[in-house]
Structure 1
Amino acid sequence: MSSRRWQLRVEDILQAISAIQQRTNGLTFAAFQRNDMLVESVLYKFIVIGEASANIPEGIQSRHPEVPWRLMSDMRNIIAHEYFRVNLTIVWGTLQNNLPLLIEPLQRLLASEADNEL
């Protein structure tokens, strides 16, 4: 059993996405790749996203299949355990193309599940 409510975990994901977007806004891939501190910061936020997603209850996950729960936790596992396989081109593509698409579904999830709890 998780020590935190799942809603807080979803908020952690949204906050991590926001932090990644703020830190990489306006950068090119080349500038991102050259900045080790930024790369490490972004990778840490991906770990947060993956860990939080892995701790969302199965019932919530199954009601919201539009959110790629497994992919988020799989990316975390690669970054944390198989760090030598991290491909910054994939990380960049994910933060540019996939993370923005998660925001609305996660916000809807929080709103719809809050309604279900009433």
Structure 2
Amino acid sequence: MDERILKWLFDVKIAINEIESYFENSEKDFFKYRENLMLKRAVERDLEIIGEAVNRIITKDSNFESKITNAKSIIGLRNQVIHAYDSISDENIWSILINHLPKLKSEIEMLTDQHNKS
């Protein structure tokens, strides 16, 4: 695997771990999330990093588009957070955290583990 791709995969992994750490000492609660501006901005920033890294990965090697579920949607979210920040829905971001981030984490861990075994 290209070393740059591996670096970007680890960037995704780190950003996911950061998001998880924001909820480490408390239950994930949408209403608390919605009221905490600093938490929302931190999560959004990590989602930007994830989207940018995924964009770089699939630009470098399009085969990864089939290895990372919803790669184009991840990139689209990054673009929305950056360029259409005024249309970000707390509900949408929360849904991504609860429903999609765990799968992405699993896929990224599998890809980095494959590299470690080779």
Superposition TM-score, scaled by structure 2 size:
0.84
Partners of 1:48 and 1:59 in 2: CA distance = 19
- The counterpart of 1:88, out of the listed 80, 87, 90, is 90
What is the letter of the counterpart of residue 110 of structure 1?
A: T
- The counterpart of 2:61, out of the listed 53, 58, 63, is 58
What is the letter of the counterpart of residue 49 of structure 1?
A: I
What is the Cα deviation at residue 90 of structure 1?
A: 0.6
What is the letter of the counterpart of residue 12 of structure 1?
A: D
Quote the residue 2:100 is aligned against.
Answer: 98
Query: How has the CA–CA distance of structure 1 residues 12 and 31 changed in structure 2, closer, same or farther, with 3 Å as cutoff?
Result: same
Calculate the aligned-residue CA RMSD, in Å: 1.9
Partners of 1:10 and 1:36 in 2: CA distance = 28
Quote the residue 1:27 is aligned against.
Answer: 28
What is the letter of the counterpart of residue 21 of structure 1?
A: E
Query: How has the CA–CA distance of structure 1 residues 62 and 75 changed in structure 2, closer, same or farther, with 3 Å as cutoff?
Result: closer
What is the letter of the counterpart of residue 85 of structure 1?
A: S
- The counterpart of 2:79, out of the listed 68, 77, 80, is 77
The one-character-per-residue Cα deviations of 1:87-112 (angstroms, maximum 9, x if unpaired) are 11010011011101112211212233
Partners of 2:17 and 2:76 in 1: CA distance = 20
Partners of 2:6 and 2:33 in 1: CA distance = 31
Quote the residue 1:17 is aligned against.
Answer: 16
- Percent sequence identity over aligned pairs: 23
Partners of 2:23 and 2:84 in 1: CA distance = 24
What is the Cα deviation at residue 22 of structure 1?
A: 1.5
Which consecutive unaligned segments of at least 5 residues does structure 2 have? none
The one-character-per-residue Cα deviations of 1:59-100 (angstroms, maximum 9, x if unpaired) are 441452x53211111100000001111011010011011101
Quote the residue 2:50 is aligned against.
Answer: 49
For these two proteins, the number of residue pairs brought into alignment is: 112
